[in-house]
Chain A
Amino acid sequence: MNIYGWSGRIVKVDLSSGNVKVYPTPEDIRLNFLGGRGGNSKLLYDLTDENTHPFSEENPFIVGTGPLGGTFAPSSGRWTVTSKSPINGMLCDGNSGGHFGPELRFAGYDHLIVTGKAKTPCYISIRDDDIEIRNANHIWGQNVWETDRILREETDIEAQTLVIGPAGENLVKTACVLSNLSRAAGKCGMGAVMGSKNLKGVVVRGTKGVSLYDPDKFLEEALATRDDILTDPMARSLSTYGTPALLMIANEQGWLNTYNSQRGDFEFAENLSAETLLDKYITKSKGCYMCYIHCSHFYVVKDGKYKTYGEGPEYEQTGGFGSGCGISDPEAVLYLNTMLNKLGLDVITTSRTVSWALEAYEKGIIDKKTVGFELKWGDSDSIIRLVDMIAHREGFGDILAEGAYEAAKKLGGEEFVIHTKGLLHCASDPRGKKAYGLGYAVASRGGDHLRALPTAEYAFPPERAKEMFGTEKASDRFAVEGKAKLVIWSEHVAALADSLGICEFMTNLIYGFSVEHMARLLTFATGVRFTEKDLMVIGERIINLERMYLVKHGVTRKDDTLPKRFTHEPNPSKGALNQVVELEVMLDEYYRLRGWSENGIPHKEKLKELGLVS
């Protein structure tokens, strides 16, 4: 039987034995979980349990692409890596764009599973059907950019790579994996999982492409989807400025991470604004595979102390190392962006770890003796020095390399670790947009904004909010009413985007890539009929499967929390003055609507309904 849309094959590489196995993608994964994040989560669920250690040979490192990934569908360059989390020992994944995911599809694979541990550093080379495990002794220790260059020179200059830097090799818990030099699958420490396997990189070159069931109708639908994306009100801003445009909005609305979220606005915000960046440092727009929006940029700092160049930055960088750590010099923020990409460190969790250390220093919990030098908000040079120490686990950096959550357990200052389930939050303060608060609390990989990406709470007009979520208040960012329903809907759509291999920004920020478009594109790609309703059930199934995985690890309501700072300390900033997140009210409603118990455990009927238990 010919399979369309999906590549139809999974490749499993065991680094301990050197065995490579290629087998058909099970129908259950294709039809019930689609692929990408959904397929990865299902594979992880089946391959591991609560006793699997994140750094053990049994823990799989899974790369997943979706059935729309690498096709002509708009923004179809996304891919997901999944594993057990070095941060909290539970579910861990990272989603990224660029060109790596599509290339894996062109080589003919839906998923790549890596298990075991190589005796010496190695990399995996995939050229269509030729798969090799190769020696990487000579590359170990190299930064991400050098590694990418060497791997492509040794294999195929047109290949795509997925690599780690020194941070991943050193098992730093905030290490990420990168492709195209700066496209990171960031949070949860996926880089450390690769490092624990002695796996420096994966190189892929594919020439097979993706076969579509009805190419003509697919093309027509893809162009219609494009038109809806480009006419969305958010399209122009995202296209011109990218995510850095959020910084000034956040600053005005009081949800900008400032001084480790002690405030929601930054006195030097103008310095870091998208306009400033565009005016002074941006040389061109950059886009992921098949993206009409191209929200990324290339920047150059021509001279001075922070001379650098690279791709980015995102809002998480300007809000993380910028306002989050109090750095007002945009050149230092850009320098750090390049530095993190080369070292293979995640922007969000590393910046949150550093800003935790800065606050701890301010509060006298750590001092010059602990760190080795003075730490101060906005002191770029000491922050740069600290980041380098984290990546190489030098001195105090060795403690911070475990992440702020573990560091605080040792040193104190746990109350201002901005995390949920050990995973540090992004640069959006939920006191200024409450659906985000609920989203962080229930996200299956721990404190994370992309599980829900509930921008509908400020993007939707009141009428649409009422129609979809039952109350106009759902579009009031300070209200709690209707937020549970809004977050649930957003979580399902985001799970679909991640599992199909398309970009959440097109579905949950720009709303042009609707579920209806997804259903039609998927039907024309695969020849299997999917409706909008079918897809929403799949979204719900993925969320519940991930929840069950967490429940296996002992997660209940007690873990669906926010830091005290967000639930008890009133926001001092004008745009969200005196706001706190009323989490418990939203949680009650969320569990009820989800068909989960008051304690956050899915009821058996719900799991039956979704086909997750018999």
Chain B
Amino acid sequence: MISNWRRGIMEFILLSDPDKCTGCRICESGCSLIKEKIANPSFSRVKVVKFEEKGIDFPVLCFHCEDPPCMNVCPVGAVVREGKAVIINDERCIGCKLCVIACPFGSISVRGNRPIKCDLCGGDPFCATICPTHAIFFGEEFKSGSEKRIELVKRFLSGERVV
């Protein structure tokens, strides 16, 4: 699986697209089931933030930062990089939860007394696999941009000017 993380010089990234998200939270339920063996969105690594009144559904993921505050703040070096993923080494983790505080996106949750975070499922993120509208996708950085550019030109051609 790890070899999937790059193709040529293009790296794979996990991204979300709020325009496509329907707010169904299949990602949350699936993540908790596959990782924690229980159907419980509270233990999900991905959380859909909803502003129902405005029709906004935004899947907030771990972005596996280039310069991860969670890794920088960990006093025992338990947050490590494995390929593209920033993961927590459970054996080293002392459960201080400084990483939870440091994360600027609220992407690290807690179960019991331990921090839990996305590990990209070893290179094949389940949330991206099951998302019915591809609002969460795992792919080449290059491609994620090109899809949007093509969509933009299509809308331009159809007469709907993008502001």
Contact = CB atoms under 8 A, between A and B. Distances in A.
B29 interface: yes
Interface stretch (B18-26, B77-85, B91-99): B18-26
Interface in A190-223: 207-212, 215-216, 218-219, 223
B23 A286 contact: yes
Nearest to B52: A181
Interface in B1-55: 19-20, 22-26, 29-30, 32-34, 37-43, 52-55
B53 A294 contact: no
Contact of B53 (A106, A145, A208): A145
A72 B29 contact: yes
B52 A180 contact: yes
A209 B55 contact: no
A464 to B, nearest CB: 27
Given A180-B52, A219-B34, A294-B132, A72 B22 contact: no
B26 A290 contact: yes
Given A99-B25, A294-B24, A210 B55 contact: no
B133 interface: yes
A287 B23 contact: yes
Interface string A250-291: 000000000000000000000000000000000111111111
B41 A106 contact: yes
Given A72-B33, A181-B53, A211 B38 contact: yes
Contacts of B43: 209
A287 B132 CA distance: 10
Interface in A57-98: 70-72
Given A219-B34, A309-B55, A72 B39 contact: yes
Nearest to B57: A286
Contact of A291 (B24, B33, B34, B55): B24
Interface residues of A, number: 41
Contact of B42 (A99, A149, A207): A207
Given A71-B29, A219-B33, A284-B55, A289 B39 contact: no
A460 interface: no
A396 interface: no
Contacts of A70: 39
A331 interface: no
A210 B38 contact: yes
Contact of A209 (B40, B53, B54): B40
Given A145-B53, A181-B53, A294-B132, A106 B42 contact: yes
For the complex of A and B, 8 pairs with smallest distance between CB atoms? A209-B40, A298-B55, A287-B24, A287-B22, A294-B22, A207-B42, A210-B39, A215-B37
29 contacts: A71-B29, A72-B29, A72-B33, A99-B25, A106-B41, A145-B53, A209-B41, A209-B42, A209-B43, A212-B33, A212-B38, A218-B33, A219-B33, A219-B34, A230-B132, A284-B19, A284-B55, A285-B133, A286-B22, A287-B22, A287-B132, A288-B24, A289-B29, A290-B29, A291-B26, A294-B22, A294-B24, A294-B133, A311-B52
Interface of B: 19-20, 22-26, 29-30, 32-34, 37-43, 52-55, 57, 130, 132-133
Interface of A: 70-72, 99, 106, 145, 148-149, 180-182, 207-212, 215-216, 218-219, 223, 230, 283-294, 296, 298, 300, 309-311
